[in-house]
Structure 1
Amino acid sequence: MIKANVIVKLKKDVLDPQGKALKTALSNIGFHNISQIRQGKVFDIEMDETNTDIAKKEIESICQNLLANPVIEDYDISVQKHSI
């Protein structure tokens, strides 16, 4: 079994209105030392695959086709093999 973790975030040069709203809300409740906060998505994926290279290629395709918008988002993939 393969377990993968995918983190999808807006590219650095893309405006993050949710992050800006979070920064303002945090400041309003007393957290004034936050200089920037950006919001993203995390996906935990389990696959019935034993080959980590094959799994990583499949997850890369999943990211490019569904989980991320490559025009405005970047993603990081980490893959680990687990025994059942």
Structure 2
Amino acid sequence: MVRVVVDVMPKAEILDPQGQAIVGALPRLGFQGISGVRQGKRFELEVADDVDDAELEKIAESLLCNTVIEDWKVTRLA
């Protein structure tokens, strides 16, 4: 078995209201110097050794993200 991480983030041109809410709350909580936050999703999958990268890409594109507004990246962990 191999652990795979799929990180999903809003595309740069897409408004991120959750990230904006976080960046707005930080100064009220006493945290300074943060000018931007983008919020995304992380999926951790345990997959068989013979599952190839093409299959993982199909999973990410068809189930884990909305390709119209999100970018994704698949990473195999050692």
Indicate whether the TM-score tops 0.5.
Answer: yes
Equivalent positions of 1:1-84 (< 5 A) are: 1-48=1-48, 50-51=49-50, 54-80=51-77
Shift of 1:69: 0.4
**Corresponding residue SS for 2:52:** helix
Asked if 2 retains the 8 angstrom alpha-carbon contact of 1:9 and 1:75, the reply is yes
Residue-pair matches, total: 78
Query: What TM-score does the superposition give when structure 1 sets the normalisation length?
Result: 0.85
Which segments of 5 or more consecutive residues in structure 2 lack a partner in the other structure? none
Deviations 1:19-68 (A, max 9, x none): 000001111111120010100000000012x23xx432111001111101
Deviant stretches of 4+, over 3 Å: none
Which segments of 5 or more consecutive residues in structure 1 lack a partner in the other structure? none
Identity of aligned residues (%): 41
